[in-house]
Amino acid sequence: MKLISTLLFLAISFANAEWIEPPARSHRGYLVPTPDYTPSFPRDHGAHPEYGLEWWYWVGHLETESGNQMYGFQSTVFRVAGDPDEPKGQGFASFGNQQLFLAHAALTDGNNQSYEHTERVARVGWQASASRDSLELRVAGIEASMAGSGSVHQLISRYPDGGRLELELTPTKPIVRFGDRGLSRKGDGPASVSWYWSYTRLLAKGTLFYKGKKQAVTGIAWMDHEISSSQLGKGLAGWDWTCMQLDDGTEVKAYRLRKDDGTSDRWSAVYWIDKKAGVQGVYADKFTWDEEDEWTSPTTQLCYPTSVKISASHPTRGPVSYRLRPVLQNQEFLGNREDNAYWEGACEVLDEDGVVIGRAYLELAGYGGGLGARLN
Amino acid sequence: MLSPSRFQLVWLLLTRMTFRHWRSKGGHYILLIGIVAVGVGAFNGIRQASRSASENFGLFNQAVSGQSDFLIESPVQRLLEADLVKLSTLGLDPDWHLVPVIEGSVTAVKTGGVDKKQLRLIGLDLLALGNLPTLAQESLRFSDEDANWYDWLGHENEVWVGQKLADQLRVGVGDNITFLASGRLAKMKVRMILNDPDGNLPDDLVLGDLPTVQSLLSRPGELNRVEVVINQLDRREDTAYLGNIEKRLNQLLPVNLSLSPTQNRAADRSAMTAAFRLNLTILSLIAILVGAYLILQALDAAVVRRRAEIATLRSLGVDGSVLFATYLMEAFVLGLVGSIAGVGVGQVLALGAVSMLADTVNALYFATSVEALTLTSLDVIVGLVLGLLFSMLAGWLPARDATQTPPAQVLARGDWSPGFSWLRKPKVGIGLLVLGGVALLFPPFVMQAGSNMPVGGFLAAGCWIFGSALLSGHVLVLLAGWVRPFCMGPVARLACSRLRDGSSRHRLAVAGLVVAVSMVTGMFQMIDSFRGTIEEWFDVRFQADLYISESGVTGAGSVNGIDPKLMDELLKDPNIKYADVMRICYAKPPKGVTVLAGVDLEHWRDRARQIWLKMPGSLKVVDGAEPALVSETFARRFGVLSGGVVELETPVGRKRVSPLGIFCDYGNEFGMAAISAKVWTDWTGSNRPINVSLFLKDLSKLQETRDRLRIAYPGLDIRNERELRDVALGIFEQTFQATNALSLIGLAVAFAGLLLGLFSIFDESTQTWQTLKHLGFSTSRFVLAAGLEGAGIGVAAWVAGSITGLALGWLLVFVINVQSFGWTLLWTVPVESILWFGALLTGVGLFSGVISATYWNFRRR
């Protein structure tokens, strides 16, 4: 615990890193994350309403005490800032117009090959709130809270038909800060940067109320907290993203920022997190993201490359590759908006020989179009 | 059961014989069909119109957010945002959506070509609407440019309207609509015209983001209700699933709020207006009832007219059952054609009646708006069944008559007709009158919303009307007998003799008219009594110098009240000596709904003038209960006429009120309990006045004060006693519009029936007239005799109808009104109106006689 409470930020070296100084504000007028910022926790686990976009994201793999049942879960809370020109402090307590929240909760039942998900949109007020002082989120069906100054936190996610997952999440590694000088770059635009902090390995323990049954569950989870004001650079259509938790105690995070023409943006990256939360990474020219199989949604007719092979040149270990295979093909998250569907699902990680070496979550976003416009 | 060959014979007789008669008397049968059509039409029209006017139930947001499954409400039907915070845990569950709603009536002041228009301002969380599976996303876009989510909410005073309303008010995007709400004059800006290709949006709907509407209505932090929409719409029919959802919702529901299926609200609202709708339905049956009399009369006349034909057919071996079936079939065809036409007539009448009824429902019960008239297959079936049933019943007796009359006897007796023997026997009529008296002993039936249905009263009314109709023939004979000795000249004597003979045709003509006359006399009497009582009540009750209320809102169910800050400001006027501020809200008694008022109890008890049924202090207040002055309706509904306790649910829990006095009040039929304003505020958490009565220091400055306040507060109606009386009586007249219209329809049908009846009578007396003509009786004398005969029928109908009408008036005032609405009226007999009605009936009778005789004479030539 001492280790965890002592924040450890490691410098990350990139072969191709090019520094672009971010502006103070985005073109919409929101603050832009600044370089060399040293976050202060637990305050920075809370909301940053002066910034345009922010999300809290948890994924993980769970199993019941007997080990018979396998589940994957995803719980995400997005925050989108309101009109920057609107005078602050205006509006109404229950129906504020300063912040918009989205709550996405999904549960993958590996044994029964089923997938439940739900989305809610809420403005700040009686159905959505996020503390600025600590992790204290309450957005539609998702609640997250962190007691005191520790890093152990509670997460409650709700699913259709009375389903509910209550987890206590305990980091086993310190929080990791990604990017050069503390800024994760998402495109050539100077404002396309974010503060990107992750707990890459959390011990998860709790209770799942599902299909009328109450089950004790344990597992490993991952948490991201990202803050920006212009998430995607111009000309980007979406991204493919994954977090892998390997059996050897290390983690890999990789993402491909897809351009409108289908190629990968140069700021696409792979990060390796070692057992002590040390981070190394490479940009697009040092890895490939190959689509090995695809799945077409019967609902949206969107085609997602759900089986991929990521081959990269590790800065010290040389070439490595990871194959991701979904535990269930239909893990498509259907939003309220027609163009808001994306695929986010539990996967297994295989090595070159087809041996399972870990578990992952894979996100395939922007295949329905429209995402770039909303995250610029 | 007729065999196929007999059926063929019936068909042959119908086509060759019956329809030939129809052709020769086309006008006669067209009029008869028209009467059936009006009868069925009146019934159907009222049915459709009252459904369209009252079934909206105030959930106007449904056009936008779709049908909800449950409603979360507070006992006073007003929630605060603090309640919403308590509901936030409930809102976490993905199995349902909570939709907070605020709604209010506002009045758009002169805009475009419209002088004033009442608008329904609805506030919803426009952003959360996107979560709803029911949202008609295709057509309802709140912003052209959707990249910025906050564009969907609009700014400050921005609202959305449908194209129909924009056209009516002649406003476009960016234009302002000036309106009155909560006593304030304000403006709202049209942000966008909602695309509504299917025309689902009511033409009075103005939509805004919830906080915007709270601000526009000057009701910050207030909500009307929270609706619950289940997420899985495909399971709406699954009662077990819904039951489980209801159970889960109830587990987390704060104690001061209640949850009920939305359809219960529809049922509650339906029950609230049940008595009103039943009254209308019964009234709408007058026309159909009179129509049935007329069919009876017409077919009976046809049997007599065709007696030679019947005799010949009987002689040729056609047996009675075939003739019976033929005449019954004729009634069936009359009923069928009339009923089909009636469906169309009903549509026309419904179009005319619907806004009238919506105004009444708005004024008396709850906020409603007119929904598009819909003719359902059930309407068509009910209309057809009713028309056919009455026609067949009416055709039964003449058909039997045709069967039973021996041919030789008919042929031998010339124009003699045996008629209906039962019309000559007073036993049935007297029996019905007695039965009506006995029915008065029946207790009222308690309906779902807690209102009472005076079953015995209605039964008595029916028995008395039918009984008097049956006895009216005797009145005719009696009157003719009395008048005959005073008749000078052959014309009058002839008319009198014929009336004194009292053929069944004459008796039927009187009976048909008596039904209409008695009901109209009774209704007019009740309306007059009501008017008189309200005027008396006004004289006593309204003694203040000025009366203030929210401007533009006239309905009982659509009030926003007055902004308390505005009221505080107004009450600082230097010429105000005392202000009697009244606050009201709905409250939930054990059954139905009632009104809880917050008043200056001391002023009401000691100084305000009331018509007291029980003086304050005459009833002992139960220990521990809140003392209240209650209305007569309240006392009767909850059985506290002699004191006692009534439990009411309030936002702070169940509270007990105990009457210390009972006053007469004619404001609503749900009753009212007035408690001290302070306690009212404690119980309801509100301080919003509904109206204020001002007593001035210097009365010589009354007009000056009124004008000054009017200029300073353009959003308030500030009236003196005379002006208030005019407005109240205007609302009163409005509520009886439909009743008056139906009475007039019934009367018109009865007059048309009189015309038909007289024509049949003359037709039947062909031989008599021809003999008289040969004896030198001129055409003008014949026409005059006919006129006198018609006038005699009119007089007899008036005498019998008025006597019955007086009894009905008593019944309506002292039984039906007391049981239905719980108020006692001062019985007023409009003698002058009754006398004028008599003159009208005599005149119409005379005129009908002259017209029928002239027409008959013209045809004979």
ipTM (interface pTM)? 0.89
Q: Which amino acid would we find at residue A84?
A: P
Q: What would the two tokens of residue B31 be? A: 């009029």
How many beta-carbon contacts under 8 Å exist across A and B? Answer: 82
**pLDDT > 70: what percent of chain A?**
90
For chain A, count helices (H), then strands (E). 2, 23
Q: Which residues contact A84 (CB under 8 A, 6 or more apart)?
A: A28, A29, A30
CB contact under 8 A, B92 and A158: yes
More confident residue, A114 or B664: A114
CA of A269 vs chain B CAs: smallest distance (Å): 28
Which chain A residues are closer than 8 Å to B248 by Cβ?
162
**pLDDT > 70: what percent of chain B?**
82
B93: nearest CA in chain A? A141
For residue B294, what pLDDT band results from cuts at 50, 70 and 90?
low
Kind plus residue range of the DSSP H or E element containing B299: helix B274-305
Q: Which residues contact B256 (CB under 8 A, 6 or more apart)?
A: B74, B75, B83, B651, B652, B653
CA of A185 vs chain B CAs: smallest distance (Å): 23
Chain centroid to CA A186: how far?
14
For residue A323, what pLDDT band results from cuts at 50, 70 and 90?
very high
CA of B388 vs chain A CAs: smallest distance (Å): 52
Superfamily of domain A232-376: AttH-like domain (2.40.370.10)
The DSSP code sequence of B604-662 is: HHHTS---EEE-TTSSPPPTTSEEEEEEHHHHHHTT-TT---EEEEETTEEEEEEEEEE
Question: Does position A349 have pLDDT exceeding 90, yes or no?
Answer: yes
Quote the pLDDT of residue B270.
58
When pLDDT is averaged across residues B588-609 and rounded to a whole number, the result is 87
Does residue B205 contact residue B161 with C-beta atoms inside 8 Å?
Answer: yes
When pLDDT is averaged across residues B291-306 and rounded to a whole number, the result is 68
Quote the pLDDT of residue B420.
62
CA of B158 vs chain A CAs: smallest distance (Å): 14
| Tens digit of each residue's pLDDT (9 = 90 or more) over B162-175 | 888 888 888 888 89
Q: Looking at the DSSP assignment, which residues form a beta bridge with residue B188?
A: B177
Q: What would the two tokens of residue B286 be? A: 């007058």
| Tens digit of each residue's pLDDT (9 = 90 or more) over A244-290 | 999 999 999 999 999 888 888 888 999 999 999 999 999 888 999 99
| Tens digit of each residue's pLDDT (9 = 90 or more) over B220-261 | 888 988 989 898 888 888 889 999 999 999 998 988 888 888
Does residue B460 contact residue B467 with C-beta atoms inside 8 Å?
Answer: no
Mean per-residue pLDDT over chain A, rounded: 88
Nearest CA among B618, B595, B599, B596 for reference residue B607: B599
More confident residue, B302 or A130: A130
CB contact under 8 A, B94 and A143: no
Q: Does B381 touch chain A (CB under 8 A)?
A: no
**pLDDT > 90: what percent of chain B?**
16
CATH 2.40.370.10 boundaries in chain A: 21-229, 232-376
Distance, in Å, from the CA atom of B849 to the CA atom of B791, rounded to the nearest integer, reads 7
Question: Does position A116 have pLDDT exceeding 90, yes or no?
Answer: yes
CB contact under 8 A, A138 and B88: yes
Q: Looking at the DSSP assignment, which residues form a beta bridge with residue B814?
A: none
Quote the pLDDT of residue A11.
38
Q: Does B214 touch chain A (CB under 8 A)?
A: yes
CB contact under 8 A, B130 and A97: no
Quote the pLDDT of residue A3.
33
End-to-end CA distance of chain A: 38
Q: How many CA atoms within 13 Å lie on the side-chain side of B851?
A: 14
Nearest CA among B652, B557, B547 for reference residue B595: B557
Quote the pLDDT of residue B719.
87
The torsion of the CA quartet B767, B771, B777, B779, rounded to 10 degrees, works out to: 30
Tell whether the torsion through CA atoms of B260, B262, B266 and B267 is positive or negative. Answer: negative
CB contact under 8 A, B150 and A161: no
For residue A329, what pLDDT band results from cuts at 50, 70 and 90?
very high
E strands along B125-269, which residues? 158-162, 176-181, 184-194, 205-209, 222-223, 225-230, 258-261
Quote the pLDDT of residue B513.
83
For residue B507, what pLDDT band results from cuts at 50, 70 and 90?
confident
Quote the pLDDT of residue B52.
62
Instruction: Give the range among A146-160, B139-153, B566-580, B761-775 with minimum mean pLDDT.
Output: B139-153
Distance, in Å, from the CA atom of A218 to the CA atom of A214, rounded to the nearest integer, reads 13
Does residue A329 contact residue A306 with C-beta atoms inside 8 Å?
Answer: yes
Q: Which residues contact B594 (CB under 8 A, 6 or more apart)?
A: B450, B586, B587, B588, B634, B637, B638, B648, B670, B671, B672, B673
Q: Does domain A21-229 have CATH number 2.60.120.650?
A: no
Q: What would the two tokens of residue B272 be? A: 């609230």
Q: Which residues contact B11 (CB under 8 A, 6 or more apart)?
A: none
> Which of B328-332, B622-626, B758-762 tops mean pLDDT?
B622-626
Q: Could you say which DSSP state residue B422 is in?
A: H
| Tens digit of each residue's pLDDT (9 = 90 or more) over B431-462 | 999 999 998 888 877 765 566 677 888 889 88
Question: Does position B367 have pLDDT exceeding 60, yes or no?
Answer: no
Mean per-residue pLDDT over chain B, rounded: 80
Distance, in Å, from the CA atom of B817 to the CA atom of B813, rounded to the nearest integer, reads 5
A160 closest CB neighbour out of B95, B209, B221: B95
E strands along A48-179, which residues? 53-64, 70-81, 95-109, 114-125, 128-130, 136-139, 142-146, 153-159, 163-171, 176-177
Please report where in the chains the tokens 């209605």 appear, as a residue.
B458
Quote the pLDDT of residue A142.
96
